[in-house]
Amino acid sequence: MNLAVAVFKLSLVSVSIMAVLWRFKVVTGPGALALIMGMGGVLGPLLAGVGMWMVLIVFGPTAHWLPEIIMISVSLALIIYTTRLPPSAISLTSSGFSASSASSIGALGKGLIGCFCALIAVRFLSLLPDVVAPRLFPWDAWLVWGYEARVWFETGQFIPFLAPKETLTADSTAWVSFTLTDYPKVVPSMMLWLSGHVTEWTGQAPGLAWLWAATAIGCLLFGLLRQLRMPTLVAVIAVYLWWSLPIINAHTALHGYADLWLSAVLGLISVIFLLMSVESKPWHWLGIMTGLILLPLIKIEGIYWDVGIVFAALVHHYRPSIRAWLFLTLPWLVIGVIGYVIFDLDWIHWVTGGRLEFAVSDLMTGLWGVWRHTFVFYDWHLLFYAVFLCLLALPWAYRHVHHFVGFLALVAFGLVIIVGVLPLSGGNVWLGSGSLFSRVVIHFSLPMVIFVVMVAHGWRQYRGVV
């Protein structure tokens, strides 16, 4: 019963977002239905979590059933509003598959599509027992996001948490955080929202949200590639490529960590950048702005990705030449190096608000950790091998993908952060264990998979294969 109500809540908020997107025809053509399902699946639960959190800010401590009633009422109102519109106002031009593309696949192609769909289904079913199990694995999710949601559930109130240093001086009725970092409250609010209907905390309901997020990301990826007129077989293989990544499976099965949701929002923004490159619409910028707001509300690291998104948006808008690139970037690079070497200015310490700092002495430790977790260990399967090969092929495939320059700028920013900035920062000591590296790469996993598929497709066009 608990799981059924949780599925109902997830479906209700997601379908309400889908209904609005359907009503305003944000996407049409091949893959439109999958894209709308992915967008609704990502935004629905997160906006519900934001709604729960707003109650704390606006009303102060209150019973957690109040925002649940508000969220359910709003969702039902949106669905009823869209269903009362004339049929012509909510119709899409295509359900996602054109007759020509379906008929040109052939028997072998249809068989391969069936095989990969079966592999995706097996992966989904293998994760299902873990996400419905009545427990939360004792790692950071158990100490941070799950802990806060459990306290709010047991007390029936939104309660602020004190810093760990106040443990000995705090009042006996106060609650103290286990972590030194005060993370945003959207994810624990979402977990509370999914558990608010039961009388005893079981930990079952929140796990479904992580499988929901992974499924929504798969829908986004499939719908995007079909929108870009790539073959159905390529889109299905790409979905399996992302779904089969070991770390993605670990964060889904050992649910409760915020990184998968941050990955979903960053992936949604990447999809919007690519759609903008084909045909720019006003809602694209609204979607990017929504993502910019949601990222730091999910996890503090989201603000760093906001910088990359703003950078990609500027590149998409102005489309600078290679000479302009050099003119804009080289002076800042020189200033940064001079500031660090001569004036001992720690730019990483300044940007991260003191969380990290330059640690050049441990650079080799960081680089060794990056090497092992990209090309030696199985954390990311063959993803980084594929990314490396696609970077080598990019000069030849570029003329077939150059109009996606905003997305390519975002990919460049992400790879520089992962391979360049992390090994130079104080976080390089954690790269050896893989925990920091994997969590950062999860955020950027969907853009990397899209990059691999796009460049591979562009390379095939260059070679005259398609």
Whether residue 163 is found in the same domain as residue 228: yes
Same domain, 273 and 381: no
Six-digit token pair at 249? 């499976």
> What is the SS3 assignment for 153?
helix
272 and 343 in a single domain? The answer is no
Range of the domain at 172: 2-86+114-300
Q: Within a domain: residue 97?
A: no
What integer best gives the mean pLDDT of the chain? 80
Report the half-sphere exposure of 75 (CA within 13 A, side-chain side). Answer: 24
Give the E-state strand segments of 83-196 in sequence order: none
Question: Where residue 91 falls among pLDDT bands split at 50, 70, 90?
Answer: very low
Residue-wise pLDDT for 309-351, tens only, equals 999 998 888 887 767 766 767 776 777 677 766 766 666 665 6
248 and 329, same domain (yes or no): no
State how far the Cα of 246 lies from the Cα of 231, in Å rounded to an integer.
26
* CA–CA distances in Å: residue 189 to residues 64, 165, 267: 10, 24, 22
**Cα–Cα dist 238/450, whole Å:** 8
Looking at the structure, tell me whether residues 125 and 255 fall in a common domain. Answer: yes
User: What integer is the mean pLDDT of 180-198?
Assistant: 80
Buried b (16+ CB within 10 A) or exposed e, 435-457: ebbbbbbbbbbbbbbbbbbbbbb
Burial of 113 (0-12, 13-18, 19+ CB in 10 A): middle
CA distance 452 to 391: 9
Long-range pairs for 312-316: beta carbons < 8 A, 24 or more residues apart: 312/273, 312/406, 312/407, 312/409, 312/410, 312/413, 313/273, 313/288, 313/406, 315/405, 315/406, 315/409, 316/273, 316/276, 316/277, 316/405, 316/406, 316/407, 316/409
147-173 pLDDT tens trace:
888 888 887 777 777 777 777 777 766
Same domain, 75 and 213: yes
**In terms of domains, do 366 and 428 share one?**
yes
106 belongs to a structural domain? no
- Which of 253, 270, 300 is the last residue before a domain boundary? 300
Q: How many domains would you assign to the chain?
A: 2
Q: Is residue 102 part of a domain?
A: no
- Give yes or no: residues 416 and 287 share one domain: no
Domain assignment present for residue 205? The answer is yes
How is residue 9 written in tokens?
A: 């809540």
**11-53 residue pLDDT tens:** 888 888 888 888 777 888 888 899 999 999 999 999 988 888 8
pTM (2 d.p.): 0.87
Place of tokens 């990059």: 451
Note whether residue 392 is domain-resident.
yes
Paired residues of 162 in beta bridges: 176
Contact 328, 81 (CB under 8 A): no
Q: Do 250 and 176 fall within a single domain?
A: yes
Q: Which of 11, 252, 215 is nearest to 130 (CA)?
A: 252
205 with 120, same domain: the answer is yes
Closest CA to 209 of 414, 349, 23, 10: 10
Tell me, yes or no, whether 109 lies in a domain: no
83 has pLDDT over 90: no
